[in-house]
Structure 1
Amino acid sequence: MSSCCSGNTSSSTLACPQCGISSKNISMKTIFHQVKFPDVLELETDRYYYCTDESCSVGYFSQDGKSIAKNQLRAFTELNNNKLCYCFDISTEQYVNALKQGGAAIIKDFVIQKTKVGDCACAIRSPSGQCCLANFKLLEKVFFVGN
């Protein structure tokens, strides 16, 4: 697997100052690739955390009280559209439809194969900076329990 999906990343957590959800820290590389221009020019290097709460307006925040709103992120539209895989532009809706029609394995196998050869870019494409493969498994679990 590529380094983003190897699971060798160390992370700490901090509660989001707006919603209180426990949030993992992410790399500055992710932030520099996610924050829109010209806001990216104002960024200061710090230890930032990503808030995963869909209803929270905070995207990233630091221990020092700095915050970056989700609407300042390049992936803001994708966040609102529930993107499953940012690297290969796969939405949750597309994958659920594929699960219903029996074609999900092709999609998941494609993502796994591309990840294995290092063709993914999770660290810069995904707002969380994390690999999406676990999200496929979670979605499958929810789908198969409900059906």
Structure 2
Amino acid sequence: MSDCCSTNTKEMVSETSVSEYCPSCKKKGKKVKIITLKAILKPSVLDSLNPNSEHFFCNLEGCDVVYFDTDKKTYSISEIKVPVFQKDDSLTVPICYCFDWTREKITQYVKDGLASKPLEHIKQNVKENRCGCEVNNPQGSCCMGNVTKFIKQLP
């Protein structure tokens, strides 16, 4: 896998500045690599994927669209193999797809006074080059921001 969880600021800025707007909710999407769609879309919809288009991830909770491309082709929640953290508030949905850190599991660690453990575990595995965010996480990028935000909003 690439260094999707790296903190190279130059790489992060250029990746996030390339955006389009979701045809459904009009929110700016985040560009994702084709490998992410190939890994996350259900096999029944892969034949409609245009590998020559740029693809984007829509993270708006109330929007049914998960991915869209520059031709405004959309892929909805029902066409995705896994639940999407940003669009499903279930406790069993992963926040970290590579190492199975769910809302429920992280909440329990925080209750037990171990709030830093999930991030430490993820960081250690990233350091050991074990993450596979491009193929495991529907957003196609590192989850650490989502995990950190989730922990901070817990009571």
Scaled to the shorter chain, the TM-score interval is: 0.7 to 0.9
Instruction: Report how many aligned residue pairs link the two structures.
Output: 143
* Matches of 1:115 and 1:77, distance apart in 2: 21
Is 1:54 the counterpart of 2:61 in the alignment?
yes
* Matches of 2:142 and 2:36, distance apart in 1: 12
Picking from 123, 128, 131, the partner of 1:120 is: 131
**8 Å Cα contact 2:115/2:151 also seen in 1:** no
Residue 71 of structure 1 corresponds to which residue in structure 2? Answer: 78
Pairwise CA distance, 1:77: 6.7
Is 1:6 the counterpart of 2:6 in the alignment?
yes
- TM, length-normalised to structure 1: 0.87
Pairwise CA distance, 1:83: 2.1
* Matches of 2:46 and 2:77, distance apart in 1: 13
Pairwise CA distance, 1:6: 1.3
* Matches of 1:19 and 1:94, distance apart in 2: 31
Choose between structure 1 and 2: higher strand proportion.
Answer: 1
The structure showing larger relative contact order (alpha-carbon pairs under 8 Å, at least 6 residues apart) is 1
Pairwise CA distance, 1:142: 1.7
> Quick one: structure 1 residues 58 and 132, their matched pair in 2 at CA, closer, same or farther if it must change by over 3 Å?
same
SS at structure 2 position matched to 1:129: coil
Gaps in structure 1 of 5+ consecutive residues: none
Gaps in structure 2 of 5+ consecutive residues: none
Residue 21 of structure 1 corresponds to which residue in structure 2? Answer: 27
SS at structure 1 position matched to 2:43: coil
> Quick one: structure 1 residues 107 and 52, their matched pair in 2 at CA, closer, same or farther if it must change by over 3 Å?
same
- TM, length-normalised to structure 2: 0.83
* Matches of 1:16 and 1:42, distance apart in 2: 18
Pairwise CA distance, 1:106: 2.5
Picking from 113, 135, 140, the partner of 2:146 is: 135
Match of 1:25, as an amino acid? K
* Matches of 1:127 and 1:101, distance apart in 2: 29
- 1:38-117 → structure 2 map (5 Å cutoff): 38-45=44-51, 46-76=53-83, 80=88, 81=90, 82-117=93-128
In percent, how many aligned pairs have the same letter? 27
